Amino acid sequence: MTYRAEYIWIDGTEPTARLRSKTKVLADGAELPDWGFDGSSTNQAPGKASDCVLRPVFTCPDPIRGGDDVLVLCEVLLPDMTPHKTNTRAQLTSVAERHADQESWFGIEQEYTFFKDGRPLGFPVGGFPAPQGFYYCGVGADEVYGRDIVEAHLDACLTAGLAISGINAEVMPGQWEFQVGPGGPVEVADQLWIARWLLYRIAEDYDVSATLDPKPVKGDWNGAGAHTNFSTRAMRSGYEPIITACEALGEKADEHIAGYGAGIERRLTGMHETAPWSEYHYGVSDRGASVRIPWQVEAEKKGYIEDRRPNANCDPYVVTRLIVGTCCEALEKAGQV
């Protein structure tokens, strides 16, 4: 008897990395071994020294193949077993471990857009649909496009045991969102990468592609983000740590913008529920702010914050690393842990 393991990893494509995968057939009961691949074909090695190593770090049931088959998220290592320079997970784990006592939680809202025949799903040939307004959380064939793919993706994520906490249609036709979390920084990032892979793979069956482009259509159309909800134990217990975290994010705004996804200036224009990429401010119930404090958090004087800046195409390992490093260091310095 055998089972199939789909080894999944993040490549070295710039400015936005892509997902790659290949299948290994293993004897029933065999443990997942380290594996390898041709890094010269994934922008991760030169041809004269092309070997890269795949080390399994997260495994879940394969909802597409079923049975005993599994999906295997891997880190990329060099042959000497040190992290590859594209291995942003390794950079996150050291920061997450350093601040583990603060019990950081994340929830990431992944927006994406379906495309078919070179245009967003629901856009007519050679033109545009009705303006934005009725598509967000809409219902009906004239407002929602791609729901069958979205439902299949949700089912797959739940079958895989991922912490998917919701889905909804977004502001532009063919644009959707799913949420991953709550969970720790490494856990949420791992599961978001697997959920992305499942999205691309399931859309294949419908001859549709899914893109994380932060501004898939120019003009008066919303971009696509990955709004990131964050809290620590102290933030979940009091309001002063929430303000400390918001202020700290402002002090390192440039560093965060640089790590929040390629093309961020195309999306963060100050319009379409965004703050300008070159400015920083936070506010209560303000979807035009860089960081939003939900109204109920102010009312209850405890809870979480929402960083609205990360792009849909962000690397969640980078985003969670930056937020944990910035906020947890500030809270520790302020004695609010």
Q: Which CATH number fits domain 95-334: 3.30.590.10, 3.65.10.10, 3.20.19.10, 3.40.190.150?
A: 3.30.590.10
Q: What residues contact 314, with CB distance under 8 A and at least 6 apart?
A: 226, 259, 260, 261
Cβ atoms within 10 A of the Cβ of 69, count? Answer: 18
Bridge pairing between strands 226-231 and 105-116: antiparallel
| pLDDT of 297 higher than 90 | yes
Cβ atoms within 10 A of the Cβ of 53, count? Answer: 19
Per-residue confidence (pLDDT) for residue 126, from 0 to 100: 85
In eight-state DSSP terms, residue 104 is: -
**Cα distance between residue 207 and residue 203, in whole Å:** 6
198, 111 contact by CB (below 8 A): no
* Residue labelled with tokens 């965004």: 274
Domain segments of the chain: what residues? 2-86, 95-334
Per-residue confidence (pLDDT) for residue 266, from 0 to 100: 96
Q: Dump pLDDT digits (tens) for 165-214.
A: 999 999 999 999 999 999 999 999 999 999 999 999 999 999 999 999 99
The average pLDDT across 283-287 equals 93
The mean predicted confidence, pLDDT, of the chain is 97
Bridge pairing between strands 51-61 and 35-38: antiparallel
Superfamily of domain 2-86: Glutamine synthetase, N-terminal domain (3.10.20.70)
Q: What Cα–Cα distance (Å) separates residue 47 from each residue in 41, 53, 323?
A: 8, 15, 36
Buried-exposed string 276-300: b where 16+ CB fall within 10 A, e elsewhere: ebeebebeeebeebbbbbeeebeee
229, 107 contact by CB (below 8 A): yes
| pLDDT of 327 higher than 90 | yes
Q: Dump pLDDT digits (tens) for 123-176.
A: 999 889 999 889 999 999 999 999 999 999 999 999 999 999 999 999 999 999
